[in-house]
Amino acid sequence: MPRTIPDILKDHILPFDWDVRKVWALDAPAVPVSCAEFAYLLELPLWSSVAKRGMLFDIRPLDVIRDPGVSDYQARRLREADLHHPIDVLLLAERRWILDGVHRIARHVALGSPTLFARFHDASVIPAIRRHADA
Q: How confident is the model at residue 1 (pLDDT cuts 50, 70, 90)?
A: very low
pLDDT digits over 44-61, tens only? Answer: 999 999 988 888 899 999
The pLDDT of residue 133: 62
Strands (E), 12-114: 30-34, 87-92, 95-100
CA distances from 57 to 27, 50, 61 (A): 30, 10, 11
Q: How confident is the model at residue 135 (pLDDT cuts 50, 70, 90)?
A: very low
Mean pLDDT of 88-117: 97
Mean pLDDT of 21-40: 97
What's the rounded Cα separation, in Å, for the pair 46 and 48?
7
What's the rounded Cα separation, in Å, for the pair 119 and 28?
6
Which domains are assigned to the chain?
16-129 (3.90.1530)
Please name the residues in contact with 93: beta carbons below 8 A apart, sequence gap of 6 or more.
none
What's the rounded Cα separation, in Å, for the pair 35 and 43?
14
Please name the residues in contact with 71: beta carbons below 8 A apart, sequence gap of 6 or more.
47, 49, 50, 59, 63, 64
Mean pLDDT of 15-25: 95
What's the rounded Cα separation, in Å, for the pair 87 and 99?
8
What's the rounded Cα separation, in Å, for the pair 131 and 135?
6
